Amino acid sequence: MGIGAAMSDYDSIDWFTDESLAKDPYPYFDHLRSKCPIQATAHRGVVAVTGYDEASEIFRDPETFSACLTVVGPFAKFLPLEGDDVSEIIEGHRHELPQNEHMVTMDPPAHTRERALLMRLITPKRLKENESFIRDLADQQLDQIVGLGRCEFISEYAQPLATLVIADLLGVPEADHDRLREGFGLMGGSTGDLRDEGSDYQLNSMEWLDDSFVGYIEDRRREPRDDVMTGLALAKYPDGSTPDIMAVVRTATFLFAAGQETTARMLAQALRYLAQDPALQDELRANPERVPNFIEETLRIESPTKTDFRLARRAATVAGVDIKGGTPVMLLLGAANHDPRRFECPDEFRANRPNAKEHLAFGRGIHSCPGGPLARAEGRISIERILARTRNIRLSEDYHGPPSARHFNYEPTWMLRAMEDLQIEFDAA
């Protein structure tokens, strides 16, 4: 196939159904960016943003760009939209959209209220306390794996860790941790599946979790105790009013949805880069203070959230490009984080890259990820403990192939950059 043919393939390829893009989206991102950092695509009226500055600008302008589509993307039933200002249509239909009850799809002023409530729940003090739980949990999980000399890292380490860390953060009683972990195992699938054409969103997948939390919160409101869950149950909005039980419950359960798969896949990528590079393992073992930047570079080069969406309420011009009112705007975070105007040699993994932390993996602006500090702590502590307790971490060649021909499986989703499995081997330290 000549270059010309490949180029035109990329002009017509469908981000929402093409499984080859799930395996390796980066050449497609480069193609889009080479045409324009804000580029119309051939499908569903979507305009794709691959530029770092352009994506940052859109994130920072919630007045013009509504977050209502962030989960459903171009599959909202009311698209395409007509008219220069579609604000009224958005307000008339947003209650029909997936996850409309969660802050991630809200705009001010509703978003401001819910976000303030959340920030009362995950305070710096609470995060600090949570760190010792992360450390203990990391060691407990490693106790089970280290002697075996091999593991499937995502299901045997990363996913259970990510679930239980959020459970602890919210003060879910330890007696219920196993039940929670099982409940999540049953959820299966993920939002943004390339095979479902956007029709089968897991709207209700968190209902079972909501039910557990209703029980906890009702109980603590009736009978406050000296525990974290009581703080959650009694938290008030900034104006002093008490939220409905369901508002608290949704905030709490959404943390599981938002913080689980993303963090687990970040940990998996970090392990992949380590396993591919023995010198890096030695360097980080000798210089643990370099681990945080290594985590930032992992987030930059393989951003777990590939795609966020905004809906242009009205006509706008971003970096000289006109965007019509009613346009679904696809912010490709993985592309923005490979923008050569911001990151030198962006496709190279550089653990000590000076500006790695400028990545957009956690978004920007009013919706920027409130779980960032937690995900970073999980990354740092996990890598420190894994390096301390193992030697000679390597990829399973039987599974992932020899260095010259590695292959990795990726979940078929347009939303997450999610390795399906990571088979690693190691020696006990």
Binding site for ligand HEM (CB under 6 A): 67, 70, 103-104, 115, 166, 254-255, 258-259, 262-263, 266, 304-305, 308, 361-363, 367, 369-371, 374-375
Which of residues 56 and 230 has its CB atom nearest to ligand HEM in the complex? 56
Instruction: Say if residue 324 is exposed, middle or buried (CB neighbours under 10 Å; 0-12, 13-18, 19+).
Output: middle
Minimum distance of ligand HEM from residue 366's CB (angstroms): 6
Residue number with CB closer to ligand HEM (255 or 351): 255
Give the three-class secondary structure for 25: coil
C-beta of 180: minimal distance to ligand HEM in Å? Answer: 14
In the complex, the smallest distance separating the C-beta of residue 409 from ligand HEM, rounded to whole angstroms, is 20
When the beta carbons of 353 and 367 are compared against ligand HEM, the nearer one is 367
Q: How far is the CB of 70 from ligand HEM (least distance, A)?
A: 4
Residue 15, token pair as written in the block: 């981000």
Q: Which is nearer to ligand HEM, 29 or 426 (CB)?
A: 29
The secondary structure element, H or E, covering residue 318 is strand 316-318
Closest distance to ligand HEM from the beta carbon of 264 (Å): 9
Query: Of 335 and 426, which has the nearer Cβ to ligand HEM?
Result: 335
Nearest by Cα to 270 from 246, 302, 243: 302
Q: Which residue is nearest to ligand HEM (CB)?
A: 371
Smallest separation (angstroms) from ligand HEM to the CB of 59 = 6
* CA-based R_g, the chain, Å: 22
| Residue 373 contacts residue 259 (beta carbons within 8 Å) | no
Q: Between residues 25 and 371, which has the closer beta carbon with respect to ligand HEM?
A: 371
* Cβ neighbours, 10 Å, residue 344: 11
Least Å from the CB of residue 114 to ligand HEM: 8
Contact 351, 284 (CB under 8 A): yes
Sign of CA dihedral 243, 371, 265, 131: negative
Between 262 and 327, name the residue whose CB sits nearer to ligand HEM. Answer: 262
DSSP structural state of residue 243: P
CA 183 distance to own-chain centroid = 20
Tell me how many degrees the CA angle 143-147-153 measures, rounded to the nearest 5: 70
Q: Name the region of 392 (left: φ>0; alpha: ψ -120 to 50; beta: rest).
A: left
Q: Please state the closest distance from residue 129 (CB atom) to ligand HEM, in A.
A: 14
Identify which of 306, 305, 304, 312 has the alpha carbon closest to the alpha carbon of residue 40.
312
| Residue where the block lists tokens 């919630």 | 62
**Which C-beta is closer to ligand HEM: that of 10 or that of 336?**
336
